[in-house]
């Protein structure tokens, strides 16, 4: 059995298949998962996820977003146990937070956006996860140069 072991080789399409379905068979490209090798595949996926989050942790905007999310939850807790003013502040914060959450992430739209900005077609069944996120990050940061 052969399977992807890294975000540098795992195509983004198959990564999203696992993320949307929970089915780890999408990281296997030769052979099948069975009881004997299931733990091996689960370990490989855990390593892929760890590598993925290590990559995200290198992105200052990701860290900033995490901190912002942490502040939001701290305000939520304060609104429940604090003063009436804390409740008013959180209500305003929640309105802003909910507006940000109105547009959920759409994988297929993200591929279209990349193709539009990079001006070439992307085969998401061959593009590795790291490359996909690197380009997406550059576009988010207003950089559209090719790597």
Evaluate whether residue 75 is within a structural domain: yes
Tell which wins on pLDDT, 58 or 6.
6
Evaluate whether residue 64 is within a structural domain: yes
Confidence check: pLDDT of 126 > 70: yes
Kindly report the pTM of this predicted structure. 0.75
The alpha-carbon radius of gyration of the chain (Å, integer) is 19
Confidence check: pLDDT of 131 > 90: yes
Evaluate whether residue 93 is within a structural domain: yes
Instruction: Supply angle C-alpha 9, 144, 55, rounded to 5.
Output: 40
Evaluate whether residue 91 is within a structural domain: yes
pLDDT at 147: 45
Evaluate whether residue 78 is within a structural domain: yes
- Total tally of structural domains belonging to the chain: 1
pLDDT in tens, 68-111: 888 888 888 988 998 888 888 888 888 887 877 666 788 999 99
Evaluate whether residue 51 is within a structural domain: no
CA dist list (Å): 42 to 15, 16, 17, 45, 128: 14, 16, 15, 5, 19
pLDDT at 47: 97
Mean pLDDT of 14-25: 96
pLDDT at 101: 67
Phi–psi pair at 29, nearest 5 degrees: -110, -5
DSSP-derived secondary structure letter, 43: H
- Residue 66, domain extent: 60-101
């Amino acid at each position: 059995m052969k399977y992807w072991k890294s975000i540098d080789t795992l195509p983004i399409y198959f990564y999203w298949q696992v993320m949307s379905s929970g089915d780890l068979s999408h990281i296997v490209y030769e052979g099948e998962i069975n009881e004997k090798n299931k733990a091996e595949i689960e370990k490989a996926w855990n390593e892929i996820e760890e590598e993925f989050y290590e990559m995200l942790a290198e992105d200052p905007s990701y860290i900033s977003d995490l901190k912002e999310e942490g502040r939001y939850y701290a305000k939520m807790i304060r609104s429940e146990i604090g003063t009436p003013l804390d409740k008013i502040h959180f209500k305003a914060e929640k309105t802003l937070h909910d507006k940000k959450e109105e547009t959920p992430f759409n994988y297929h739209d993200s591929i279209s956006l990349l193709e539009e900005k990079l001006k070439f077609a992307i085969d998401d069944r061959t593009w590795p996860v790291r490359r996909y996120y690197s380009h997406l990050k550059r576009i988010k940061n207003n950089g559209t140069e090719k790597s």
